[in-house]
Amino acid sequence: MPREIVDRVEMPKQSPEDRRSNFREVALGLDSELAVREAKRCIQCKTKPCTKGCPVEVEIPEFIALMAQGKFREADAKIKEKNSLPAICGRVCPQESQCESLCTLGKKFKPVAVGSLERFAADWTRENSPESGCEKTNTDGPALSLCTAADGIERPSARIAVIGSGPAGLTCAAELALMGYGVDIFESLHETGGVLRYGIPEFRLPKTIVNQEVDYVRSLGVRIFTNVLVGTTLDLNEMLAKGEYQAAFIGTGAGLPYFLEIPGENLNGVYSANEFLTRVNLMKAYRFPEYDTPVKIGKRVTVVGAGNVAMDAARTSLRLGADDVKIVYRRSRTEMPARLEEIENAEEEGVQMFLLTNPVRIVSDGKGGVGAMECIKMELGEPDASGRRRPVPVPGSEFTMDVDTVIVAVGQGPNPLLARATQGLALNRKGNIEVRDEYGATSIPGVWAGGDIVTGAATVISAMGAGKRAARGIDIWLRSQS
């Protein structure tokens, strides 16, 4: 007998009027009653397509079954078998194109809200654990605790260096620690988390959550050293040659901002999205002068680009007091790379979309600042290499926009610092690290890589998947060496 399918539980949010003037989290999370109700919608199908849609293969029906019985702690433990950072993934994964897109229920009804449930399990467990509470994460983690191998297989006692503490590095480190290896993470900034810290704003991912997830990784025995740039402060080949580390994982991300390369781009008031978001998120410039780092925002802000970074920059501008925030994008709405939910959130908050529009030059206000931006209208031509229709300028359609701040969010490339300083590390034409197998082995024996430094800018969860696969590759290799 078919059972009755109740409506999907939608996550409560702060109202657009309230949230556009504060940095508190927009999505408020489920309560236990709603979480149980949503968990009960899962039909526990045998085929489990959702799990195949998850880049780290979380056993989704299994954890949801536990949630349906109110066993939230057990559900969290189930998720953590595969995913070390569920409070983050539950918040920032594009579930609509991953697990939820394959949900059997979703064929006739709305899919189970897997992301909301994952987030609830992680948040509930954290809030209801005795040692909960946010400790500042900083340098020099605790001495390595004796971790037992999770699967009882004896492993060589090796020490592994993980370069970068973003989602790829944190996941790889957690996996290796669970296998029983000694792991040291090296982070160039003064805080951990990579893009989770400096890129994604507080209103989408509270930094206390990042702290707590990093503390969890540390509790597995992983040591974290901040202010260390491998490539300048330390030399990777030297670390391996001296035998300090038996293997390494590079997860340094795509942190080099691209600019538009149009006239006027070095005027005051033109920021890369990386600079703008780093000032606000990492340096907490939104709390200036309580915090020392300033950020300056005009009344009329234009963000160039239409990915998640552009949405974050636009919504952050509103929260800093801009009256008028525009997204300028050279293609149409269908091609916008940002998550649909983030585009909707931005529009609800009052961000205006100027589509099929491309900046041509930024005009000075005569005092070294931005006065206006000249744009041209575009139309879509033939598909390009990426399969998206190529935007072509419409002759004579130039017009001028009054703006005082321009934020450039047209993508990031690989930072060349590490590669430049590491002999023998093969790169592809774009400067990304070349990997030789599905685990992410690089041209240097004993060195793996994964995440944005390999693929170019992608998602948090795909970086985590790469970190996880590299941990497997490192384990296999180390056991073959001993």
**Contacts with another protein, residue ranges (CB under 8 A):** 136, 139, 188-190, 226-229, 232-235, 255-257, 259, 261, 265-266, 268-269, 271-272, 274-275, 278-279, 283-284, 288-294, 296, 368, 415-417
CB of 158 to another protein, least distance (A): 23
Residue 406 beta carbon to another protein: minimum distance, rounded to whole angstroms: 13
Distance from first CA to last CA of the chain, Å, rounded? Answer: 57
Query: Least Å distance between CB 202 and another protein?
Result: 16
Residues whose CB is less than 8 angstroms from the CB of residue 132 and which lie 6 or more positions away in sequence, other chains included: 126, 212
What minimum distance in Å lies between the beta carbon of 149 and another protein?
32
Shortest distance in whole angstroms from residue 364 CB to another protein:
10
Residue 76 CA: distances (Å) to CA of 58, 59, 256: 11, 11, 35
In angstroms, give the least distance from the CB of 99 to another protein.
31
Between residues 32 and 233, which has the closer beta carbon with respect to another protein? 233
Residues contacting 56, CB < 8 A, separation 6+: 82, 83, 171, 461, 464, 465, 468
Token duo for residue 321: 């007091």
Q: How far apart are CA 292 and CA 294, in angstroms?
A: 6
For another protein, the closer of residues 345 and 405 by Cβ is 405
Ramachandran angles phi, psi of 175, nearest 5°: -60, -45
Count of CB atoms within 10 A of residue 239's CB? 18
Residue with tokens 């064929």: 107
CA distances 481 to 153, 160, 187, Å, are 15, 14, 28
Measured from the CB atom, is 75 or 283 closer to another protein? Answer: 283
Interhelix angle 72-80/114-127, rounded to 10 degrees, is: 110
Helices (H), 2-71: 16-19, 32-39, 49-52, 60-68
Residue 446 C-beta: closest distance to another protein, Å: 22
Q: CB-wise, 90 or 307, nearer to another protein?
A: 307
Amino acid (one-letter) located at 359: P
Least separation in angstroms between residue 319's CB and another protein is 18
Q: Are the C-beta atoms of residues 406 and 334 closer than 8 Å to each other?
A: no
Residue 194, burial from CB neighbour count under 10 angstroms (0-12, 13-18, 19+):
buried
